[in-house]
Structure 1
Amino acid sequence: MQDSQVVDLNVGGRHLTTSLSTLTKYPKSKLAGMFSGRHPVAKDKDGRCFIDVDGDVFVHILNFLRFGKMPPPERASEVNEYAEYFGLQELKAPVLEDFEQVLYEIWKKKLPDYQSIWDCVKRKLDTISTSYFYIGTTSSNCEHIGITETVFPCNYITIDLDFGPNPSMLFNLLAVDLKRRNIFTDSCLRVCPVCGRKAAMGFSIGR
């Protein structure tokens, strides 16, 4: 097959037309392998190449291959799944980053006091003496699993605010901001098997 060849597609029932060079733009991808000529391609009754995925999502794959255009935020998660399936790592990484930013902005709107909390955490980061530390709210200390400000005074950041039994949104925001400082989530919110209260989230400086 020549790169200039026009390819008619039936993608989950949606009819699309593109060029072979677009489909094989990234030679190492699974999508390029499908149209490399080395493997038979399924055809529908009208001779179109059939791809058994959602055509409304796949069109964003084509737009990326054609123009480098990223999908809209509301489609980012779905397109990321397709990027993984078709082996398009060039698309996958920026989609994840954009999607995370969209969620970050949504979370921030739901926690109007977040900026002051983040400023507090930044100040307290200077007191951390190890490469691993915990962040917890004043209500999250729990002696049953041994994570308390008293037990770990040198690597425990207390947020003087009570977010009730589900502070996960706050910790998600902190995880995004800390990652920008080369600090990564190491353990999820721990739940005490005795009292059922949230304890803390662990973070590691660097990887």
Structure 2
Amino acid sequence: MPGEWKFPDVVDLNVGGRHLTTSLSTLTKYPDSMLAAMFSGKQPVTQDKDGRYFIDVDGDVFVHVLNFLRFGKMPPPERASGVREYAEYFGLQELKELLPKDFEKVLSGIWKMKLPNYQSYWKGVEREILNLSSKYFYIYVSAPDACSAGSRRRTLVLQAPGSSNIINLDLSYTDDERPRPTVLLNLLANDLKNLNIFTDYHETECVQCGCKAAMHYNTAS
């Protein structure tokens, strides 16, 4: 019965099929939240066949909720919207208040300040998109001091062999700021959403130092 169940100090979770482990104190950190109610016996919690406590949400999003409960760590911009929805669902006002609806926009603005010539990259990408021969394409970015190891471009070779499906950008920066190519890719991905263009493959980076990177996009609505 609710109120009589004794939870272990270390809790094994099955979150939408993803297996996670955390402490009971983490799950009950905020007494007014749904998670605290679930793991204090006030609400029933289903267990899977292996005895893990089942939470029927996306584990890849929920892990960012756990990281907030553990360390006060905020999610990356691309996860902010989903984490905000979960904060509301689980009654975590402490997290929700730190995730305004324009959180992604705010962080994007901060990164753009580190790339003062970002708009020139953006305008160039807009022009290139008009000449694409496929609804799928890559943006490939390399820094001027790219190492000799090269990047993991296997996906580029397999899925987008035509040069017309690859937009190449050379990343330049000042001596004071040395952003990784993935910074530029994520900024572009954020602005491309307004054109109904979305990433459907996460970026790959140079195996040595991240001096090169690529991201796959889909122009299909």
- TM-score normalized by the length of structure 2: 0.45
**Structure having the higher Rg:** 1
- TM-score normalized by the length of structure 1: 0.48
